[in-house]
Chains A and B, each alone.
Chain A
Amino acid sequence: DQQVKQNSPSLSVQEGRISILNCDYTNSMFDYFLWYKKYPAEGPTFLISISSIKDKNEDGRFTVFLNKSAKHLSLHIVPSQPGDSAVYFCAASLWGGQNFVFGPGTRLSVLP
């Protein structure tokens, strides 16, 4: 049951360049989306979120774009820094629900 998909298991980007992490979902009832970052031996850390009434949300170097018709969202990190190297999880939630459906994650490596 792959309701949330992250088709790229890994991504390598040069420091200073843009990192683009993609996420697709199948359930059109999802109305809230989040990105989490996870370092080894730590729990997921909230990064940025977007509700279905918006198509873009920006926080510093991080921007999330939502395309509802395509059931696709993406996380842009500009400029990428070596400290951004981590596993990034996309997560989705139904309206009123308290739990998230996570994607399998994308491992980002930012090369100095």
Chain B
Amino acid sequence: EPEVTQTPSHQVTQMGQEVILRCVPISNHLYFYWYRQILGQKVEFLVSFYNNEISEKSEIFDDQFSVERPDGSNFTLKIRSTKLEDSAMYFCASSGTGQKNSYTFGSGTRLTVV
């Protein structure tokens, strides 16, 4: 069964450093998403991406965040200057149709900011 792949599974970074979280969506999917889950809290929407542009973003997705689809297969989330409160599990998801019951989530990248 096709999977959404996220790398690395765990990343530790120093506060103030830039990190890039990588995702390989399912190959024929057109809609891409990032969610995050701070430990002990709920899963929160960050951003959706379609046709090479952001289609929707949440209040969390401020200027320190950016997304990119640098080639035909990768979808990245960049955090420019990490803060301690950015520590969370970050989930990438993709969808072929944009239908809400069709999202496939990756297994996540655990980001720890120290």
User: Which A residues have a C-beta under 8 Å from some C-beta of B?
Assistant: 4, 32, 34, 36, 41-46, 49, 89, 91, 93, 97-105
Given known A43-B91, A43-B93, A97-B56, contact A102–B43 (CB-CB < 8 A): yes
Q: Taking each of A44, A100, A101, which has the highest tally of chain B beta carbons within 10 Å of its own beta carbon?
A: A44
Interface flags for B79-114 (1: CB within 8 Å of A; 0: not) read 000000000000101000010111111111000000
Known contacts A34-B100, A43-B93, A46-B101, A102 near B44 by CB under 8 Å: yes
> Does residue B45 face the partner (Cβ distance < 8 Å to A)?
yes
With contacts A34-B101, A44-B105, A46-B103 taken as known, whether A100 is within 8 angstroms of B91 at the C-beta atoms is: no
Q: Interface of B with A (CB < 8 Å)? A: 4, 31, 33, 35, 41-45, 48, 55-56, 58, 91, 93, 98, 100-108
Chain A residues closer than 8 Å to B35, beta-carbon distance: 102
Residue of A nearest to B37 (CB): A102
Contact status B45-A100, CB under 8 Å:
yes
Contact of A98 among B48, B106, B108 (CB under 8 A): B48
User: Can you spell out 27 A-B residue pairs with CB atoms less than 8 angstroms apart?
Assistant: A34-B100, A34-B101, A41-B107, A42-B107, A42-B108, A43-B4, A43-B91, A43-B106, A43-B107, A44-B43, A44-B105, A45-B105, A46-B104, A49-B101, A89-B42, A89-B43, A91-B43, A98-B33, A98-B48, A98-B98, A99-B33, A99-B45, A99-B48, A99-B58, A102-B43, A102-B44, A105-B42
Find chain A residues with CB under 8 A from B98 CB.
Answer: 98
Taking the closest CB of chain A, its distance from the CB of B48, in whole angstroms, is 4
Cβ-defined contact, B100 with A32, below 8 A: yes
Beyond A43-B4, A89-B43, whether A100 also contacts B100 by CB under 8 A is yes
Residue from B31, B48, B91 in contact with A44 in the complex, judged by beta carbons closer than 8 Å: B91
Once A43-B4, A98-B31, A98-B48 are accepted as A-B contacts, the answer to whether A104 and B41 lie under 8 Å apart by CB is: yes
Contact, CB under 8 Å: A102 / B42: yes
Q: Provide the residues of chain B in CB contact with A104, threshold 8 Å.
A: 41-42
Question: Shortest Cβ distance from A62 into chain B, in angstroms?
Answer: 13
